[in-house]
Structures are given as C-alpha cells and as structure tokens.
Amino acid sequence: MVINNLDNSDYGQIKIADEVVGVIAGLAATEVPGVAGMSGGIAGGIAEMLGRKNLSKGVKVEVGEKEAAVDMFIIVEYGVKIPDVSWQIQESVKKAVETMTGLKVIEVNIHVQGVNIDKENKEEENIQRVK
C-alpha cells in the first residue's frame, strides 16, 4: 500500500493512502448519470460489475508528492453519449479528489469497458423482433 505524504512542517505530516484517493474517485464516478458501474479493469473482465461496496475497484491511482493521475474503468448505460458521460466523470473526479485531498489532479483517463443494456431495452427489442 502506497501512502501519500503531504508535508505540513508546523504540525506534522498528513498521509493519504492511494486506496483512499481511489475510493473518492470511484464514488464521484458512480454518481454521474449514465454510469452503470465500475469494471474490474482488464484483469477483472468486462462482465465484472461492482457496486458501492468496493469503490476502489475499477480505479487505478498514481499519486506523487502533490499531484495525482487517475484511470477509471467504467461500464456505461446503453443510449448515453459516451463522450459527454466521460467528460462529466473527469470533472466530477477531479473536483472531488482535489477538494478532499488537496492533491492536484493532472489527468483522469476514462476506459469504457462495456455497455449495460437493461432489462427494459431487452424486452422492447424482443417485442419488436416478434412483430
């Protein structure tokens, strides 16, 4: 586990684990409309969708002394505009991480791992096929 040290010589040091930054980023991403869930990444496979129980899954964080880079592995809802959802995730994650940790987020990379087709869309497609 990598710990980020924020130097504050007057009172001591603040240490933030990479996993904490990952949880903050994961929560911010899942709150964006159009995000179906987080993917475990390439190793976890596309089918592995995770809920709020393990928000650091699907998030890779690289933290320097004062900066952070975040990679998000997401699954989007069918029918959304992927560039728009991705931009909203980037803005939301950047704002949340910077506000809560004081780190400067230099990049938020979005990796779309899949598209979630909900049951309603599947039922509509089946009805149309029967007709």
Q: Which residue has the higher pLDDT, 131 or 73?
A: 73
pLDDT of residue 128: 57
Residue-number span of the structural domain to which 41 is assigned: 3-130
- Give the residue from 22, 31, 33, 26 showing the smallest Cα distance to 68: 22
| Residue 118: CATH number of its domain | 3.30.70.1350
The CA distances from residue 119 to 20, 34, 68, 81, in Å, are: 34, 16, 38, 20
pLDDT 10s digits, 76-111:
999 999 999 999 999 999 999 999 999 999 999 999
Mean pLDDT score of the chain: 81
How many structural domains are present in the chain? Answer: 1
pLDDT over 90, % of the chain: 54
pLDDT of residue 53: 56
pLDDT of residue 104: 95
What global pTM score does this model have? 0.76
